[in-house]
Structures are given as C-alpha cells and as structure tokens.
C-alpha cells in the first residue's frame, strides 16, 4: 500500500440530532428530528403532530421515497403522552461528554472531526433576529477543545435538523423565506467561529430533499412541486453561504471553505438488458442533479426537461441563476456506504431494499439491515464525482452498522468493522494513487456510537467507541473502546499503509 498524502484528514463523523442531546437545554428550540420516534428495520419512524385548535394528536409515517401525509392544521411537535420515544432527546450525550469524546478521537490520531451545529441551538425558532449566545458558546467550547488537540472541525450547518418554527410557520424549505434565515445563520457561524472552523458543509445529503424531504428540509407538503422548490431554495441558500465565506476571507485573510454533501452510491445494473442500463442512468441523474447544480453551477437539461414534463414551475428570483453559477461549492463531499443494484426484471429481490427496482447483489454480502458492503464503491464514487466536477473531494461518511456485543470485560470484538474499513480504505487509496483523485479526507460515520437516522435504533452501531445506551434510552452512557479503535489508531499512525 502506498502512503496517503501527508495532509490527508483522517477522522470520524457525527451529527447533532443523533449524538448531541440537550434538545431543550441552553435555550435550544425544537427541530425536525426532535419529533421523530424510534423504529426498527423496515418499520418506519413516525413524526408526531398536534392540531392546536382541537388538541387532536397523531403521526405521519416516514419511509424512504414515500410521501408523508399530515392532516390540515397539524403542527409537528414531540408529544409527552408517554406513547412515543424520541431518540434525539437522549442520543448519546455529546453535550455532556464532549471533552471525553474529543480526547478519545485525539487518542486515535484524528486530524479532523465532522460534527453538525444544531441550527435551533443558535436560532431557536429559525427566524429569530438575534442568535442564542448560550448555543454559540457551547460550540465555541467544542471547537476550542478540538483545537487543543490539533483536530480540524468539519462542520455541517444543517444535518437533518430544520427548526420546527420554520416547519410549522413557513412550511419548511419550500418557502423562499428560509433562504434568508439560513443565510443569516450561516453568516453568524462563519463570523463567530472564524479562526476555529475552516471547513463547512451546508446541507447534509442535499438529495434527501428528493427522497426524505421532511428530514432534508422540513417539508410537510411533499408534492413534486414542493420538493423541486425546496431544492432550489437550498441551492440558493448554500450559494449565499459560499458567497459570505468568500467575502469574509477577502476582508480578513482567512481561508474558510464551503463544501456540498451528497448521498452517493455507485449503481449497478443487475442484468445487461438495455432497459436496466437506462434505469441506472436515470437513477444516477436523480442523484447527480444536486451536485450538477451545487458543484457545476447550472441546472442540467435533463432536469429542466423533467420539470417541463411534470408541469413543475420553479419560482426563481432575479439574479439567482447567476448566483448559483458564480458561487458553486469549494469542494464536494459525499456519503457512500456501498452500492445498489437495480433491475426492471422480475427476479427475487432479496431483503431489506430501500428503493423500488433494487435487488441484492449476488457478488456482495450485506449487514443485518440489508446494506451491501462493496470494496469498489469509494474508488468508483471518487472517479464519477471527480471527472464530472474536477473539484477536491472529501468522503465524509462511510462505515458499517452492526449490532455490536459488549463483553463482560468491557471489550467489543468488531472484526467485521475492521474488515469493512480495510476494504474501503484500500479502495480510497486506489482512487488517490491509481486514478489521481485529489481527496482531502475521510471521516468514518458514527465514530462514537450514536442513534441511527434511518431507524432511530441504538443497536445499529457504527462507532470505534461503544456507548452504553439501548434502543429506549436506558444505559449509563459509559464509553468503551472497541477493537476497531486500536486498529484505526494504528492505521492512521502508518499513514494508511498498515491495514493488517
């Protein structure tokens, strides 16, 4: 194995809604994730609501690519009827453990730590005129702790957390007012954390607007029209953040960089039928549309044609298309856990598939949630995204969910995770050393155990560090190092050459 570049940013990734807790502490307002219940594999999470005039309560089920339905007058909120468990209300307490957790990351040799700022901790209702100082102070303390160890934070501004005030009073990102609220929030962070934070991502998995628009942008109306406008509004909001950072850099001599974040996976055809090739091509377009706009700076023709066919009309203000062209992102980051295989043919589809037309790939093995491990996925992803945009890349999520077992002596033997990482790091090395892709860094998802976004479970664990907490929020929150902790530390120390 050849060495990774000297300045390669090794680390781990988290998100406030799954990790932080303190959901109503320190002046924080509620956000979309705080009204999401726990669930299980193939059992949808629920988003709870109340109709204030009548007191009626209920929920909308949330499933991948399936529209959610809310009744007229419903306001999304967590309910204290005792009927529901909301995992974000406990998560795994980064809020109370940040010093301990950052020390563990430093012990592994992290050069970077991807985390998210909870928007509603800074602007509790989303549309407030002044930020919440206590929230700003919390993150400042976190960033100072990172700095102590020479860990460079990579900060997502919106990771599946839209303040509920924006959802209930504005309809979420389908409303153009959210552009300005996000711009204000982004500017507040850029200015306040200058000198502490150099790298930002605007919207986590921005294509979630297409697949899970409630999580992606707080949409209750999930019509095609609302999703298209929601995406446009996020593109503009993101470009305004890039503009703000560039202007700040010019004035202050800083070098803040703003990236986009895409959920990406290579797609394979299950058969060599032309029909399946077109299926994969269209499925890729559905994903790459988001990076074409954010990294390419233009609306691709295939999307404009689709909007025309569907009768979707975007509200675009004067100068917005020019803004997208002038302020594309500085780098492209993405999550990639494996690949998907698609077919139109009538075959046995295996288990756990998230998309229509998806099928288990007979060449790959999958975890208990049906997520296939693909030793080629990172190289393929890097190749596609780099040749298309020619911007530096950053792999900000990759990892494997497993129901780890804590032994009586406090050890966790996660050799399956080490195997997974070995294959994926090798694939990344090929992207750099065979294909010449400029890759800035790698942050393994869920480096300290946290709640699953898809199912709200704790038992779908990803971390190098085990956290004693179960699916219903019972546990001591004590941290235990897994075998992969020591493996990752050794691998980083060898600059990626020691994968044994």
Closest approach, Cβ 200 to ligand BGP, in A, equals: 16
- The distance of closest approach from Cβ of residue 316 to ligand BGP in the complex, given in angstroms and rounded to an integer, is 28
Q: 211 and 267 in contact (C-beta within 8 Å)? A: no
Interface with ligand BGP in residues 381-410 (CB under 6 A): 397, 401
CA dist 126 and 122 (Å) reads 8
15: contact with ligand BGP by CB under 6 A:
yes
Q: Is 452 in the site for ligand BGP (CB under 6 A)?
A: yes
What count of Cα atoms within 13 Å lies in the side-chain half-sphere of residue 106? 14
Q: Which of residues 406-445 bind ligand BGP (CB under 6 A)?
A: 445
- Choices 26-34, 39-47, 70-78, 452-460 (CB under 6 A): range interacting with ligand BGP: 452-460
Residue 90 near ligand BGP by CB under 6 A? no
Annotated active-site positions, please?
205, 397
Stretch that binds ligand BGP, among 30-38, 140-148, 229-237, 448-456 (CB under 6 A): 448-456
Is 408 in contact with 357 (CB distance < 8 Å)? no
Q: Residue 129, Cα to own-chain centre: how many angstroms?
A: 27
Nearest residue (beta carbon) to ligand BGP: 454
Candidates 139-147, 189-197, 311-319, 454-462 — which segment interacts with ligand BGP by CB under 6 A?
Answer: 454-462
Report if residue 453 touches ligand BGP, rule: CB under 6 A.
yes
| Options 55-63, 68-76, 372-380, 447-455: segment touching ligand BGP (CB under 6 A) | 447-455
Among 107, 185, 111, 101, which residue's Cα sits nearest to residue 141? 101
Contact with ligand BGP (CB under 6 A) among 454, 463, 473, 496 = 454
Phi, psi of 155 (to 5 degrees): -110, 120
Residues that bind ligand BGP (rule: CB under 6 A) add up to a total of: 14
Binding to ligand BGP (CB under 6 A) within 322-351 occurs at: 335
Instruction: Quote the least distance from Cβ 116 to ligand BGP, whole Å.
Output: 9
Binding-site string for ligand BGP from residue 235 to residue 274, where x marks contact by CB under 6 A and - marks none: ----------------------------x-----------
Q: Which of 152, 179, 388 is nearest to 264 (CA)?
A: 388
The least distance separating ligand BGP from the CB of residue 246, rounded to whole angstroms, comes to 26
Comparison of 40 and 406: residue with beta carbon closer to ligand BGP: 40
Whether the CB-CB separation of 68 and 44 falls below 8 Å is answered with no
204 near ligand BGP, rule: CB under 6 A: yes
Q: Which is nearer to ligand BGP, 339 or 429 (CB)?
A: 339
- Collect all residues with Cβ–Cβ distance below 8 Å to 294 and sequence separation of at least 6: 206, 235, 238, 239, 260, 328, 329, 332
| C-alpha Rg value of the chain to the nearest Å | 21
Q: At its nearest, how many Å lie between ligand BGP and the CB of residue 461?
A: 9
Q: What is the per-residue binding string for ligand BGP in 146-185, x denoting contact by CB under 6 A? A: ----------------------------------------
CB of 45 to ligand BGP, least distance (A): 10
Q: CB of residue 366 vs ligand BGP: minimum separation in angstroms?
A: 13
Q: Which residues bind ligand BGP (CB under 6 A)?
A: 15, 18, 204-205, 263, 335, 397, 401, 445, 452-455, 460
């Amino acid at each position: 194995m050849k060495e990774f570049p000297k300045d390669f940013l090794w680390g781990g990734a988290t998100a406030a809604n799954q990790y932080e807790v303190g959901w109503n502490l320190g002046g924080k307002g509620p956000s979309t994730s705080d009204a999401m219940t726990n669930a299980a594999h193939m059992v949808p999470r629920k988003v709870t609501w109340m109709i204030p005039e009548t007191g009626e309560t209920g929920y909308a089920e949330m499933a991948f690519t399936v529209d959610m339905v809310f009744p007229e007058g419903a306001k999304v909120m967590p309910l204290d009827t005792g009927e529901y468990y909301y995992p974000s209300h406990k998560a795994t307490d980064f809020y109370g453990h940040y010093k301990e957790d950052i020390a563990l990351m430093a012990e592994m040799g992290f050069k970077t730590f991807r985390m998210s700022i909870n928007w509603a901790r800074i602007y509790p209702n989303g549309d407030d005129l002044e930020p919440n100082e206590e929230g700003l102070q919390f993150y400042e303390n976190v960033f100072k702790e990172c700095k102590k160890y020479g860990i460079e934070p990579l900060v997502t501004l919106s990771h599946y957390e839209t303040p509920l005030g924006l959802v209930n009073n504005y309809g979420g990102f389908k409303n153009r007012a959210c552009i300005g609220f996000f711009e204000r929030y982004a500017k507040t962070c850029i200015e306040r954390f200058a000198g502490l934070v150099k790298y930002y991502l605007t919207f986590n998995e921005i294509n979630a607007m297409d697949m899970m628009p409630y999580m992606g942008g707080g949409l209750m109306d999930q019509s095609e029209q609302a999703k298209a406008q929601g995406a446009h509004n996020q593109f503009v909001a993101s470009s305004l953040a890039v503009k703000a950072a560039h202007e700040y850099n010019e004035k202050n001599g800083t070098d803040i960089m703003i990236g986009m974040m895409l959920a990406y996976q290579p797609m394979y055809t299950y058969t060599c039928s032309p029909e399946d090739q077109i299926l994969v091509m269209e499925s890729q377009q559905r994903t790459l549309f988001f990076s074409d706009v954010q990294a390419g700076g233009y609306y691709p023709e295939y999307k404009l044609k689709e909007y025309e066919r569907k009768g979707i009309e975007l509200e675009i203000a004067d100068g917005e298309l020019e803004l997208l062209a002038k302020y594309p992102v500085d780098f492209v980051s993405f999550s990639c856990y494996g690949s998907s295989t698609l077919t139109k043919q009538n075959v046995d589809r295996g288990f756990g598939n998230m998309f229509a037309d998806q099928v288990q790939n007979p060449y790959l093995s999958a975890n208990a949630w049906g997520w296939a491990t693909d030793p080629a996925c990172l190289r393929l992803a890097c190749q596609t995204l780099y040749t298309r945009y020619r911007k530096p890349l950053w792999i900000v999520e990759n990892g494997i969910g497993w129901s780890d077992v804590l032994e009586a002596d406090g050890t966790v033997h996660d050799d399956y995770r080490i195997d997974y990482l070995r294959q994926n790091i090798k694939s990344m090395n090929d992207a750099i050393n065979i294909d010449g892709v400029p890759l800035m860094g790698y942050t393994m998802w869920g480096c300290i155990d946290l709640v699953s976004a898809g199912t709200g479970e704790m038992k779908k664990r990803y971390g190098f560090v085990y956290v004693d907490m179960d699916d219903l929020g019972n546990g001591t929150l004590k941290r235990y190092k897994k075998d992969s902790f020591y493996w990752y530390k050794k691998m980083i120390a060898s600059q990626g050459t020691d994968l044994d």
